Chain A
Amino acid sequence: MIVPLEHILILAALLFFLGLGGLLAWRTNLIMMLVCIEVMLNAVMLVFVGGSTQWGNADGQIFAIFIMALTSSEVSLALAMVVYLHRRKRTVNTDLFSEMKG
């Protein structure tokens, strides 16, 4: 393997915290929050594929494929909800979805 595992882990950590930071910073827009979570999950997949190459077994790659399936279904559900909420309030600004507090 040409790229050492450490480099993959550093890149994945950067992506993961980029996603997490974005999620916390962009809390006003639903779509951007979903994008940030996707970035985090992509970092996870990177770690799995890197680990898979390191250990020479396919478990990690299988896990990465399952994460792809999981995220695609989650995003489809999330976008359905975004469309539904947008119809109600004409916005994707999360600050306006504050029916419940306390």
Chain B
Amino acid sequence: MTLFDLLAFMPLVILATGAILCLLAGAVRPGGYLYELAIVVVAASMLWSLALPADGMLPGISVTPYARFCALFLDLAGITGLLLAAGYNRCRGIVGEEYPATLLFALVGMGAACAATDLLILFLGLEAFTFAFYILVAIERGSERGGEAGMKYLLNGTLSAAILAMGIALVYCSRGTLQLAELAAQGRGAGHLYLAGLSLILLGLAFKLSLVPAHLWTADVYQGAPAPVTALLSTASKGASLAALLLLMPLVTGWPGSHAILWWLALLSMLCGNLAALVQSSIKRMLAWSSVAQMGYVGLALTAAPAGGLRAAAFYVVIYAAAGLATFGAVAVLSDQGERDGIDAYRGLGYANPLAGAALAVGLFSLAGIPPAAGLMGKFAVFAAALRGGETALAVVGILTALVSVFYYLRVVVALYMRPAEGECRESHSLAISEVIALAAPTLVTLFLGVYPSPLLDLLARLIS
């Protein structure tokens, strides 16, 4: 390890040190300033990787342009999550240093998972950030649902960890190495053990991406968790899991079995997610099922990996993350003391709180794929890759389910701009500056990418060959 390697790893070191600093500072003097401290730490880590981009390599982990891009994306999502949480948590009485510190630890885990060159670090990174999310989901101790959601997430997450670890163990048994590069170089061969291991790894990651049939935790956890946590869970956590899956793709592409697995995962996720979202009356559950469906589109892109599907998948997840942060952010901001959960409770809020209403509407437009929001570009990239890769049947299913999805997204938008129910004249509480930034940033990114997506597409084409 040289000094240059250390410089390349500084962003991760800054995040980890910052997390410990948050815990210590909170023990000395608790208060709301810890959120600002955490935001400064994340921003410092981000600025470092932008100002001094350096490649470095340690055993099991190496900082590459790809890892730096993922870290940048995750840091931006983390900052948005912290900005949202600052006001929300003060309102709910979630006090203490645990929230910002745990979030910083989650970012460290995600950064490590995206920079892994070895299955051990990949596994540890994935489990580290999932572990942080177990805590964040259950952090609202007064809430009826928080503990239940946390427990459900923990049980499902540990089961998926066991499956993922078993997959890695079988791969290791058949090849004798954990290095991703060596595994990719050795090729697939005919080992049943190796193929079984790969299938289990894919299944374990399907849990993290909440692809059907490993999606059962999603709706309950999204509904029970505090809204800012759900915002991160549906964006940063999914993004990091996909980044890890993209690192594994050289091992599985070309094997017909992996194609079949991804094909079924994508098909079932698109169908189940969109159909179940149709009948939900709670907005968070609806968005949870919609995220299952959106991950189905990502899976569709992954089945067409040789035809540029990986790029399309990454592009889609970035767009989905911006839209997800805008929608869940608006849900967090619009929630009063209780969670504003029923779709009917959003009637007329577009007038009472224009910015939050606009963010929610733009986010939902993007998820539905209506221009000028970016979702259309993402869907276009995914379906184009799928058609190039010869996945016509799956692409047709995708397009049809996307049409169905427009109904349940627009139902919320219609409710937003309907007249409020009589006798209900809500006080529109003014937004704090942090909430304005947290809502405006993802909304503007969504609109910008919808009009001018080529820089991001070019960047991803360079990063993911």
Contacts and interface: CB of A to CB of B under 8 A. Distances in A.
B299 to A, nearest CB: 24
Interface string A59-76: 110110011001001100
A59 B219 contact: no
Contacts of B158: 34, 37, 74, 78
Interface in A46-67: 47-48, 50-51, 54-55, 57, 59-60, 62-63, 66-67
A100 B176 contact: no
Contact of A16 (B149, B166, B224): B166
Nearest to B157: A74
B184 interface: no
Interface in A78-100: 78, 81-82, 84-85, 88, 97, 99-100
The number of chain A residues touching the other chain, given as a range, is: 35 or more
Contacts of A60: 169, 172-173
Interface stretch (B133-141, B244-252, B323-331, B363-371): B133-141
A70 B161 contact: yes
A43 B166 contact: yes
A78 B159 CA distance: 13
B268 to A, nearest CB: 19
A51 B176 contact: yes
Interface residues of B, number: 42
Nearest to B164: A44
B106 to A, nearest CB: 14
B205 to A, nearest CB: 16
A48 B134 contact: no
Given A70-B161, A100-B223, A85 B173 contact: no
Contacts of B124: 66, 70
B224 A81 contact: no
Given A63-B120, A99-B148, A100-B224, A33 B155 contact: yes
Nearest to A60: B172
Given A81-B138, A100-B148, A100-B219, A73 B173 contact: no
Most buried by A among B123, B131, B176, B285: B176
Contact of A102 (B152, B155, B282): B282
A9 B192 CA distance: 13
Contacts of B149: 100
Contacts of B177: 55, 57, 59
A5 interface: yes
Contact of A84 (B141, B161, B178): B141
Contacts of A34: 155, 158
B23 interface: no
Contacts of A40: 159, 162, 166
B162 A102 contact: no
Contacts of B131: 70, 73-74, 77
B176 A55 contact: yes
Contacts of B127: 70
A85 B151 CA distance: 9
Contacts of B172: 47-48, 51, 59-60, 63
A59 B138 contact: no
Contacts, number: 116
Nearest to B172: A51
B276 to A, nearest CB: 9
A48 B159 CA distance: 18
Interface in B114-150: 120, 123-124, 127, 131, 134-135, 138, 141, 144-145, 147-150
A82 B282 CA distance: 27
A5, A41, A81: which has the most chain B beta carbons within 10 Å? A81
The 5 closest A-B pairs by CB, nearest first: A55-B176, A51-B173, A47-B169, A40-B162, A44-B165
A57 B178 CA distance: 11
B178 A59 contact: yes
A18 interface: no
23 contacts: A16-B162, A30-B155, A40-B159, A40-B162, A41-B161, A47-B169, A57-B176, A59-B120, A59-B177, A60-B169, A60-B172, A63-B120, A63-B165, A74-B158, A74-B161, A81-B154, A84-B141, A84-B147, A97-B151, A99-B148, A99-B224, A100-B149, A102-B219
Contact of A37 (B162, B176, B178, B282): B162
A82 B154 CA distance: 11
A60 B173 CA distance: 9
A66 B144 CA distance: 34
Looking at B127, B159, B173, the one whose CB has the most chain A CB atoms below 10 A away is B173
Contacts of B282: 102
A29 to B, nearest CB: 12
A66 B138 CA distance: 25
B170 interface: yes
